[in-house]
Amino acid sequence: MKITLDQVDYVAALGRLALSREEKMKFMGQLDDVLKYMDTLSAVPTDNVEPMAGPVELFTPMRDDTVNPSLLIEEALANAPASDGSSFLVPKIIE
């Protein structure tokens, strides 16, 4: 095993965990399994693999930036609960 009981105690202290002796032994085996798996992954050849941020390549579709006509002030304010003719009126929330 690569993980020692002292290392389990250290990790438990970082997490502010009070573990029993049985729990420490259980976690010692589980943490050791994680490290064994990391050894398996480190054996995979990655020399010709480009770094990536995630397992799925993200694509953000772009659209043309075109100028379109805006709403008239009257149309924008048509469904407003309150307006003064050129602006929305909202309740005051800051004293």
For the chain, what are the domain ranges? 5-41
- The pLDDT value given to residue 22: 95
Distance CA 89, CA 71 (A): 18
Mean pLDDT for the stretch of residues 18-37: 93
- The pLDDT value given to residue 1: 63
Residue 52's Cβ-side half-sphere holds a number of Cα atoms within 13 Å equal to 9
Distance CA 39, CA 33 (A): 10
- The pLDDT value given to residue 88: 94
Does the global pTM surpass 0.85? no
The torsion defined by the Cα of 25, 31, 32 and 37, in degrees rounded to 10, comes to 150
pLDDT in tens, 42-72: 889 988 888 888 888 888 889 899 999 999 9
Q: What percent of the chain lies above the pLDDT cut of 90?
A: 63
> Other C-beta atoms within 10 Å of 63: how many?
5
Hey, what CATH topology would domain 5-41 get? Answer: Histone, subunit A (1.10.20)
Mean pLDDT for the stretch of residues 77-86: 92
